[in-house]
Amino acid sequence: MFNCETVRADFPILNRQIHSQPLVYFDNAATSQKPKAVIQAISDYYTGYNSNIHRGVHTLSGEATDAYEGARGRIGRWFGTEDLGEIILLRGATEALNLVAASLAHNLRSGDVILVGTTEHHANIVPWQQLETSIGIKIVPIPVDSRGTLSLDKARELTRNNRVKVIAIGHVSNAIGAVNDAAGFVSLAREINAFSVIDGAQAAPHMRVNCALLGADFYVLSAHKCCGPTGIGVLIGRRALLDELPPWQGGGDMIDRVSFSGTTYNELPWKFEAGTPNIAGTIGFAAALDYLEKIDFDGAIAHENRVHRHLIKAMKSRKSVELLGNPENWVSVCSFNIKGAHPNDVGTLLDQLGFAVRTGHHCAMPTMEHFNLPGTCRASLAFYNSIDEVDAFIEGLDRVAGMLAG
Ligand code: PMP
């Protein structure tokens, strides 16, 4: 059974004071905090069996290899992927999306169309734009409805252009928190024989994601938003496609044999993992998933959603507050502005009171452009946040609004 108070004790940083106030950490969409179990797993690796993986015959290398490959298995079990060749371990969601775009480029021709959600993070826009420049593909944004959710119907209309070859959308938008119909977009892509690319960076921390059930061609996510370390992310792709795609980066580990007369490549997943990977980070991510299982992840999500609803309700009751979006299916995020105030001023004053929120465009400038905003303040929750913290935040925000009005 999930218990918020018990769980909070697992996160040492939550005891910090900021400007002599207890820290209230509402910047989880940027990165989550790390429980002791994750910090310990990383420390155990460096103190007990730090070694490079795969090619060593000595004991430490064997232990590190077992832990690294074991972590891949853990990740596979969490995300419903049995075939570990389909799990590519990378530096983050950004790197995973760059890999997918660069590799798919070999299947695309000038004039081909890629549908990209209007509310995407820059990581799911810019790699596609680079293909506009290099091979002349065309990006068409998928419209967003007034509530902040990507419109599957409008996307379907756009697929009447029979040159749509890729549909790339976020499972959850990072600036709004809208849960998009990932399954709907995956089946739309399948109907028209296009590739589906789902950015799950903001979904994985807030819901059970089963990649086998979802059936996307490519699903990417990031450990650091799921209580894991920074610098580790995952691409889960379909074996048949990954097998066909050329390797992305060249170097050690991704090869089978190298000779000046020609090089052959390693099998999946290592074909896409050139160089020494983030061994400690991968082990730390597996520890994070073990931890999430242990605390009752489903109970944690239910709690977090309750706290989120409480926050949204309180925010909607404030005349001084304008919310960005109002999605039917909404997780973690509350993006807002205080009328007449700049988000940076609001964020700075909130920090003085101990509240950590993010301000600005949240790496989603087209979202801001679409809603005609310079930026927002974004409070984003994790399961270790409490109703009490939300109540304190609302009180703090009322004070800040009063200060800025005065
Ligand atoms: N996509 C989304 C929706 C994100 O929120 C983020 C992180 N802000 C990224 C991609 C990039 O992830 P990473 O930090 O792992 O590169």
* Tens-digit pLDDT profile for residues 182-215: 999 999 999 999 999 999 999 999 999 999 999 9
Of ligand 1's listed atoms, the one at least distance from the Cα of 222 is 15
The H or E element that residue 309 is part of is helix 297-316
The token pair that represents 267 in the structure block: 């099998």
Catalytic residue set: 363
Q: What Cα–Cα distance (Å) separates residue 13 from each residue in 8, 39, 54, 203, 397?
A: 9, 12, 35, 24, 23
Of ligand 1's listed atoms, the one at least distance from the Cα of 94 is 16
**What mean pLDDT value characterizes the chain?**
97
CB under 8 Å to 10, separation ≥6 — which residues? 35, 36, 37, 291, 295
Distance from C-alpha of 295 to C-alpha of 308, rounded to nearest angstrom: 19
Q: Tens-of-pLDDT digits for all 406 residues of the chain?
A: 999 999 999 999 999 999 999 999 999 999 999 999 999 999 999 999 999 999 889 999 999 999 999 999 999 999 999 999 999 999 999 999 999 999 999 999 999 999 999 999 999 999 999 999 999 999 999 999 999 999 999 999 999 988 999 999 999 999 999 999 999 999 999 999 999 999 999 999 999 999 999 999 999 999 999 999 999 999 999 999 999 999 999 999 999 999 999 999 999 999 999 999 999 999 999 999 999 999 999 999 999 999 999 999 999 999 999 999 999 999 999 999 999 999 999 999 999 999 999 999 999 999 999 999 999 999 999 999 999 999 999 999 999 999 998 6
Residue from 31, 32, 91, 94 to probe ligand 1 pocket by mutation (most atoms less than 8 Å from CB): 94
Going from the Cα of 60 to the center of ligand 1, the distance in angstroms, rounded, reads: 33
Residue from 99, 121, 122, 285 to probe ligand 1 pocket by mutation (most atoms less than 8 Å from CB): 121
Per the DSSP assignment, residues forming a β-bridge with 269 are none
Distance from C-alpha of 21 to C-alpha of 37, rounded to nearest angstrom: 26
Nearest to 172 by CA among 132, 128, 226: 226
Domain boundaries, the chain: 4-30+296-405, 39-292
Of ligand 1's listed atoms, the one at least distance from the Cα of 120 is 3
How big is the chain, counted in residues? 406
Q: Tell me the CATH class for 39-292.
A: alpha beta
Half-sphere exposure of 370 (CA within 13 A, CB side): 22
pLDDT of residue 177: 98
Q: What Cα–Cα distance (Å) separates residue 167 from each residue in 33, 142, 146?
A: 32, 9, 21
What phi and psi values does residue 54 have, to the nearest 5 degrees? 75, -50
Going from the Cα of 359 to the center of ligand 1, the distance in angstroms, rounded, reads: 16
Cβ pair 255, 266 in contact under 8 A: yes
pLDDT of residue 161: 81
Nearest to 287 by CA among 89, 42, 46: 42
Distance from C-alpha of 188 to C-alpha of 156, rounded to nearest angstrom: 7
pLDDT of residue 406: 67
% of the chain exceeding 90 in pLDDT:
99
Ligand 1 neighbours, Cβ below 6 Å, are: 92-94, 121, 123-124, 170, 174, 199, 201-202, 222, 233, 363
Handedness of CA 402, 403, 404, 406 (dihedral sign): positive
Of ligand 1's listed atoms, the one at least distance from the Cα of 221 is 15
The token pair that represents 324 in the structure block: 């960005």
Hey, whose CA ends up nearest to atom 8 of ligand 1? 30
Going from the Cα of 223 to the center of ligand 1, the distance in angstroms, rounded, reads: 10
Does the predicted TM-score (pTM) go above 0.85? Answer: yes
Distance from C-alpha of 68 to C-alpha of 255, rounded to nearest angstrom: 19
Strand order in the sheet with 233-237: 87-90, 233-237, 218-222, 195-199, 164-170, 113-117, 138-142
pLDDT digits (tens, 9 = 90+) for 243-295: 999 999 999 999 999 999 999 999 999 999 999 999 999 999 999 999 999 99
pLDDT digits (tens, 9 = 90+) for 384-395: 999 999 999 999
Residue from 124, 199, 221 to probe ligand 1 pocket by mutation (most atoms less than 8 Å from CB): 199
pLDDT of residue 378: 98
Strand order in the sheet with 333-338: 321-323, 333-338, 376-380, 358-360
- The CATH number, out of the four listed (3.90.1170.50, 3.40.50.12280, 3.90.1150.10, 1.10.260.40), of the domain defined by the range 4-30+296-405: 3.90.1150.10
